Amino acid sequence: MHSEALLDFGSIRERLAEHCSSVIAKELAMQLEPMRDAVKIKEALDETVEAMQSLQTEIEQPLGGTRDIRSACAKSRKEIVLSREELWDIYTTLGAYRRMYTFFREKYAQYPLLTLWAQDIPSHEKLERRFERIFDKKGELMDSASPKLQHLRSTIVKTKERIKNDLQAILHDKDNQKYFQEAIVTQRNNRYVIPVKQEYRYAFEGLIHDRSATGATLYIEPMRLVNLNNDLQEAVMEEEQEVLRIYRELSGLVRQNSNTLMDACDRVSHIEFVYGKANLALAMKAVPAVLSGAREVNLIHARHPLIPANVVVPTTITLGTSYRILLITGSNTGGKTVALKTLGLLSLMNQAGLCIPAEAGSVLPIFNTIYADIGDEQSIEASLSTFSAHMTQVVSILKAVGSKDLVLLDELGSGTDPEEGSALAMAILEYFRKSGALLMVSTHYNELKRYAYDTDDIENGHVEFDERTLRPTYRLHIGVAGSSHALSIAARLGLPREVIDMAKANKDGSANRDMEAVLSDLNEQLRRTRERERALKKELEDTRRIKASVEREKKQMNERRKAILTKAQEEAQNLKRSIRIEGEQIIKELKSQFSEGDKQKRQDAITQARKSIAGVQIPEAPMDERRRIEAKEVAEGMPVFVDSLGQLGTVLAVQGKRVQVDVNGLTATVKLADLREASRQEAGNLRRKNEAPQPKARKRSGTAVLRQQQATTELNVIGQTVDEATVTVGRFIDQAILAGISPVRIVHGKGTGALRAGIQQYLKHLPQVKHYEIAGLDEGGAGATIVYLK
C-alpha cells in the first residue's frame, strides 16, 4: 500500500524479522499486514503480551532448534530420498516441537492463548524414536542404525587395518627402500598406493594408478594388496547402498507424516512469530494500545519507533473527541512531519497486532484505511511539479475517503501561490470535515490557523520553538497555533543580518503582523505555563512521596506498638496464672491451718487471697477490629474468633442463642454475640491444624498444664453438701480460668434449693467471676447455674 511505504511500515517489518528466531517466523514478519477485524487485532495483541510475560519471567524459553522443513516434506511427497542434512533438520525440529508442546502444557494457566496453538501440535513420538536409533548427537549416522551397516563398517575397519599392516611391512623391508620416493602411504582412486621412483617401475610389482606432475614418481598399488583393496572397495560400496536404503526408509516415514509435520510447522512458526513481536516490543519499550470502540485517538508520550531512543522526543496526540481535524503549525524541521508519521505508523502497527512505543493507556481506533500524503513527491518522469504531485495524491484520497478513515497531509496547499494555496487548502479541509474522517495536517498558512480557530471540529496545534536558543524542541502542543519562525531559523543558518532586518521590516508591514504577534504572545504564555506545570508536578510528586513514606512509617510504628502490647499482655497473663497457681497452694495450706469451727474466718482469708490475685493488673491487649457474625451466617465447622475467650475456635453446634465451640480441643458454650469473623489466614491455619494428625502428647510437668488438660465446661455437684460443693466449685473455676474457658455450667439440681443458694453465695465472693445466672430451659433451668468468668 502507498501509505504504508510513506509511513515506513516496511522498516517495521524488517526490524520485526530481526527479532524472530526462525526462517519461517522471519517470513511471517515480512508478510505482516494491518487488519480491520477488532477481535483478531485484540487476540494478536493479547498473544504478544503473553509472550512478553514469558520473556520477562521464564528462565528457559520454549524457542530454538527449529529448522525450515517445508522443502524436505515437499521432496518426500515426491518420493525423493532426503539427504542426511535434511533428515537431521527434521530430527532436531521434532525435538523442538516436543519441548514447546511440553512447555505450554505445563504453563496453560499463565499463557492460555499461546497454549491453544501449542496444545494441538501433532505428536511424532514414533518418528522421533526411529531417528534416535539412527543419528548420534552430532547428526552422524550411527553404526547401529542397522545390523548390516554395523557388520559392513566393522569389515571396513578390519580390512583397512590389514592393508595398513601389509603396507608398513612393505615400506620397512630393507630390500625395498631404494624403490620408494618417500616412505609414505597415500590413496589414489580410493585405493591404497605407494609412491615409487619412475626408474623402478618394472622392479616393483604392482598396478599403476597415477603419476606425479613431473613424472618422476608413480603411485603403485602393490600386487599383494590388490585383493584386500578389492574387498575394501566392495565393502564401501555396500555401505553406501545400506546408507541409501536407511535414508530411503526415513524419507518414506517423513512422507507418511508430512501432513502432520506441516501442521506442527505452521503452529510452532506462529508461536515463534509471536515471540518475535514480543522481543520487538521489549526492545522498543512498547505497550499494547487500548482499542477504541469509537474513533478516539489518545497517544500518550508516543515515540516514533524508527528514531533512536536517545534522540526521539515523546509526543502526545489526541484526536477524535472534541475535534476530528488537528492542524499543526510551527517551524520547519520542528517535528510536524514526525508527528504525522508517528500517528500513522503507530496506527498501522496497532492494527497489525504490534505493541506501540507509548505509555500504557494509549488509545487507538481501528481505521478502515490510512491515507497519507507526506514529503516531496515531485515526479520528473510524469512532468509533475511538487504542487501537482501533492494535488494528484489529494484528489485520489478525496475520491475514496470515508468516515472511518485516517488522513495525514503534510504541507497542504504548498508549492503554489500562497493566497490561492491557502484558499484551496481551506476548501479541502472543509470537504474532509464533512466526510467525517479523522485528519491530521501540517501547514504554514495563517489563513488556515484562523479557519481552525473559527470552525467546529478543528483544533490548532504547534510544534514548540525555543526563542532563546533559536532551536525547535520537537514538542507538540495542542490548542494554540504556532509561528513558522522562518527569520529566526534563517539567521541561525547564517543569512546576512542586513537581509534579516529587511525581511523583518517587510513582515511588519504585512497584514498578518497582528496575527503573528498574537501567536508569539500565546506561545510565550504557553511556555511559561508549561514550566509552572512541570514545577507543580514535581512538587506534587515530592509531596506524594513524602506522604507515602510517612504512611509507611506510621503503619510500621502501629504494628510494632501492637506487637509490643500483645507480647506484654501475654506475658502478664502468664504471670497472673502462675500467681494464681501459687495462691491456690497457699489457700490449701490456709485451709489446713484453720479448725472446723473457724469456717467463716477461713473463708474470709481465702476470699481475700483470691481478691489480691485477681487485682493483679494486666495491660489491655490492642483492639482487634473484627466483624460480628450474624446468626444466619453461623454454621457447623465454621472457623470463628470467640471474643469472650480471645481465642480462635471451630463451631460444633448452634443451640438457639448459644453456640458450642471447640477451642484448642476443649468444648465451650458461648453466646452468639461473642462470635467474630476469623481472617482468611487464621481460618486456613485452623483448618490445617484440625486436619493434621495429632502427635502423641508428651508427658509434661506443671500444675497449669495438668489443669488445662483436665478442664471441662461443666461440673456436676448433685449429692454434695454446700461445703463440699464450694471446694469442688473453687477448683473447677480455677481450672476453667487456667484453660481460658468461659462461660461454664454448674449442675446442682433443683431439690430444696439450698445447694443452689450456697453455691451462688460462694460465687458472689469469687473475684474471678464476672457474673452468673440461672441456666436456660434448654440447659437445665433452675437445676443449673451458668457462670461467666473474667
Q: Is 332 annotated as a binding residue?
A: yes
The alpha carbon torsion through 329, 333, 339, 341 (nearest 10 deg) reads: 120
84-106 vs 125-132: helix crossing angle, rounded to 10: 130
Q: Is 483 annotated as a binding residue?
A: no
What is the Cα gyration radius of the chain? 48
Please state, as a whole number, how many other Cβ atoms lie within 10 Å of the Cβ of residue 158. 13
Which residues contact residue 665 at a Cβ distance below 8 angstroms, ignoring those fewer than 6 apart?
Answer: none
Cell of 570: 501475654
Strands 744-747 and 714-716, by their bridges, are parallel
| Owner of C-alpha cell 526521539 | 312
- The distance in angstroms from the start CA to the end CA of the chain is 86
CB contact burial 55-79 (16+ within 10 A = b; e otherwise): eeeeeeebbebbbebbebbebbeee
The two counts, helices (H) then strands (E), for the chain are: 23, 23
Q: Is 664 annotated as a binding residue?
A: no
Cell of 434: 464533512
Nearest residue to 61 via CA among 49, 69, 52: 52
Distances in Å between the alpha carbon of 379 and those of 3, 399, 414, 415, 443? 17, 22, 16, 14, 22
As a whole number of angstroms, the distance between CA 371 and CA 384 comes to 21
Q: Is 336 annotated as a binding residue?
A: yes
Please state, as a whole number, how many other Cβ atoms lie within 10 Å of the Cβ of residue 226. 13
As a whole number of angstroms, the distance between CA 326 and CA 452 comes to 9
Q: Is 690 annotated as a binding residue?
A: no
Please provide the size of the chain in residues.
790
Q: Which long-range contacts (CB under 8 A, 24 or more apart) does 578-587 make?
A: 578/704, 579/613, 579/616, 580/613, 580/734, 580/737, 580/738, 581/703, 581/704, 581/738, 583/609, 583/610, 583/612, 583/613, 584/734
Q: Is 482 annotated as a binding residue?
A: no
Q: Is 333 annotated as a binding residue?
A: yes
As a whole number of angstroms, the distance between CA 391 and CA 395 comes to 6
Contact predicate 100/268, CB 8 Å = yes
Mark the binding-site residues for ATP, compressed into ranges.
330-337
Mark the binding-site residues, compressed into ranges.
330-337
